[in-house]
């Protein structure tokens, strides 16, 4: 039988733990598998597909970047600044940048997706 104490119905289980303890336990899961055995670190295509699925599961009207272009620009600049120049693919390979831009444009307008 559950007891109501401090808004909790029970003193048992993950949900009844304080936030810090929950974070500690959750982080153990990520550390349990070595990098070389993580699917996404081994298979970039799989990671990209998962990312696309995640993005598609949120309606366009609820996507922060689609609603707030300034927020998107700030995030993009932050991401770009976090990588040294010599490691930026697009700064080293302008054709790669152009190709990615074309793909992005096609995807956002629906002409690049199979029906």
Q: Measured between alpha carbons, how far is 63 from 59 in angstroms, rounded to an integer? A: 7
- What mean pLDDT, rounded, does the chain reach? 75
Residue 60 domain-assigned (yes or no) = yes
Residue 17 domain-assigned (yes or no) = no
For the chain, the domain total comes to 1
Q: Measured between alpha carbons, how far is 24 from 36 in angstroms, rounded to an integer? A: 23
Question: Cβ neighbours of residue 86 under 8 Å, at least 6 residues apart?
Answer: 92
Interval 55-67: pLDDT, tens? 777 777 777 777 7
Q: Residue 44's pLDDT is what?
A: 82
Q: Residue 7's pLDDT is what?
A: 58
Residue 22 domain-assigned (yes or no) = no
Q: Residue 8's pLDDT is what?
A: 54
Judged against a pLDDT cut of 70, whether residue 83 lies above it is answered with yes
Residue 31 domain-assigned (yes or no) = no
Question: Cβ neighbours of residue 41 under 8 Å, at least 6 residues apart?
Answer: 35
Q: Residue 73's pLDDT is what?
A: 84
Residue 64 domain-assigned (yes or no) = yes
Q: Measured between alpha carbons, how far is 22 from 29 in angstroms, rounded to an integer? A: 11
Residue 84 domain-assigned (yes or no) = yes
């Amino acid at each position: 039988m559950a007891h109501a104490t401090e808004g909790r119905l029970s003193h048992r289980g993950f949900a009844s733990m304080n936030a810090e303890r929950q974070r500690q336990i959750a982080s153990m899961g990520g550390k349990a598998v070595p990098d070389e055995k993580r699917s996404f670190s081994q298979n970039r295509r799989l990671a990209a597909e998962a990312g696309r699925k995640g993005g598609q599961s949120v309606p366009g009207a609820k996507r922060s970047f689609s609603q707030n272009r300034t927020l998107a620009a700030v995030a993009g600049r932050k991401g770009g600044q976090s990588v040294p120049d010599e490691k930026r693919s697009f700064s080293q390979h302008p054709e790669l940048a152009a190709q990615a831009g074309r793909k992005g444009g096609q995807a956002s307008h629906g002409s690049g997706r199979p029906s």
